[in-house]
Amino acid sequence: MKALDKNNIKYRNLLSEENWQFLILFLIAFFVRLVFLMITDNFTGPQTMLKIITASHILNFPGLIHNVYYQHLPFHLYSLAGCIWVGIEQILAGRFLSLFLGTLSVIPFYFLCKSLFYKKNAFFSALIFCFFPEQIMRSIVTDSHASAIFFVIISLYFFTRHNFILSAIILAIGSGYGYICWLFVPILTFSIILFDVAKGLKKAKNVFIFLGISVVVPIVFLLLTRAKYGNLYCFIHNFFEQDSFSEYFYYFALRIRTFGQQIIWGVHPGFFLLAVVGMISELLKKRYQPVVFWFLSLFLLVCLGVFHYLIPVMTQAILVCSLFLIPFSIEGVRVGLNTLRINSRFLKFTMILLFCIFSLWKTTLIRPLIPAFIKDASQWLKCNVSTEDMIVIDNNEELDDYHTSIVMLSGMPPSIFYYGENSFNSWVDSMPNDRKQYLVSCKINAPFISGISMERIIDFSKCRIFTMKDSL
């Protein structure tokens, strides 16, 4: 009978309301992201191609010292290589990795909001998270944003539960996915000093334990970077390298304005105003920890400048700060409805539904797309050009953002592509006469190709193929 009672208890726990909520939230988040993955293009910048090439290189040369790149942290590259190794098409591997971790993030986000607020706030916050535009976008493209933020959220949850060791371990793992995790090391260390050490010196050991564990991966990576580049390349050419204090102050003010605009206008100004109301409500109830966490996140604004200007840390920081506003906005809605003495469940449901519809509409506006003429011309290259031929992409404003798209969509090796006038002329001078030559251009009368003998020219503006027998 005791065994039967235990089985009944386990069965009831499995079918608990909270577990059903997890399942519903996960399925909603997965379905929304999967739909946008199918209607969104991936190759809209050079970083996607570089990550895929590097991941393929890891399969042949798995040694860590051979795969250290200051823009791309190693754990994400090795995870991408693992996806390719198990058989996922390399063009889709990075997207499905982001899709999985971006969708899975809704569960730890629920627990984090529940730890800092209350159960109902956690559910509605997680529901808004499912439809959050920028998080959707970062969950369907090949980059490390979704992966890094996944580890940040889990680390913060265990941190709020005062499990500093597990929080530090998870943050250390996340530090191999995104630089945003590096910035949370000083933020959370300061939080321990603020909330724990102030209560007694006996808890000072938590600072050293957390710091000692969380900095392991960043230190190892910096040592490897130093060995490869001869310096700490991720920290040079940064924001603080200004010629004068006035110039530094100007760019710092510009950074604050940009950061503030993207936080306020990222979803909608009304969303930000509701979050401000929610923060005030928390302060009036003397619940300082959630508000302090968010304002400590603004410390990221200062720390962002230490990294190389090509490292996209600011994008991750804006997304993290925006996501942390969600539970405050839910609290702001609750305060507003209580102030107006409105207790209609239908009205609450309608407000959330309208926000979800608005978020989906906004997501469709920011989703990356490749123009049809780029896809058509890339498809022609894929069908008609061999790996023994050579292709030059014209220096043109209409093509500057799509060099990588052409390379990846055509399926041709990157080594047969050349860019711009100088590389084109040097290529022609050294190229054997029996090699086929192709020009990808938006203008058929590009002046720098005058006098060059070619077999075919691809005119992107009309996606037609011109056969050239004589010199132009």
User: Is residue 196 predicted with pLDDT exceeding 90?
Assistant: no
pLDDT at position 127 = 92
The answer to whether the beta carbons of residues 206 and 195 sit under 8 Å apart is no
pLDDT at position 340 = 79
Task: Please report, for the chain, how many H helices and E strands are present, in that order.
Answer: 23, 5
172 compared with 243, residue with greater pLDDT:
172
pTM: 0.84
User: Is residue 471 predicted with pLDDT exceeding 50?
Assistant: no
Strand pairing category for 464-467 and 456-459: antiparallel
Residue with structure tokens 């939230």? 25
Q: pLDDT (tens digit, 9 = 90+) per residue, 120-179?
A: 889 999 999 999 988 998 898 888 888 999 999 999 999 988 889 999 999 999 998 988
Confidence band for 4, pLDDT divided at 50, 70 and 90: very low
pLDDT at position 257 = 77
Confidence band for 256, pLDDT divided at 50, 70 and 90: confident
Q: Where are the alpha helices (DSSP H) in 325-394?
A: 326-339, 345-366, 372-384
How many of the other CB atoms lie within 10 Å of CB of 208? 11
Phi, psi torsion values for 30, nearest 5 degrees: -65, -45
Any long-range contacts for 198-204 (C-beta under 8 Å, 24+ apart)? Answer: none
Q: What is the DSSP letter of 162?
A: T
Lowest mean pLDDT among 59-73, 238-252, 319-333: 238-252
Strand pairing category for 390-393 and 456-459: unpaired
Lowest mean pLDDT among 5-19, 140-154, 212-226, 245-259: 5-19
Confidence band for 92, pLDDT divided at 50, 70 and 90: confident
What is the spatial distance between Cα 411 and Cα 387, in angstroms, rounded to a whole number? 10
pLDDT at position 169 = 94
What is the spatial distance between Cα 196 and Cα 159, in angstroms, rounded to a whole number? 12
The candidate with the shortest Cα–Cα distance to 423, out of 394, 384, 387, 451, is: 394
Confidence band for 244, pLDDT divided at 50, 70 and 90: low
Confidence band for 235, pLDDT divided at 50, 70 and 90: confident
Q: What is the DSSP letter of 439?
A: E
> What is the rounded average pLDDT for all residues in the chain?
77
What is the spatial distance between Cα 424 and Cα 440, in angstroms, rounded to a whole number? 11
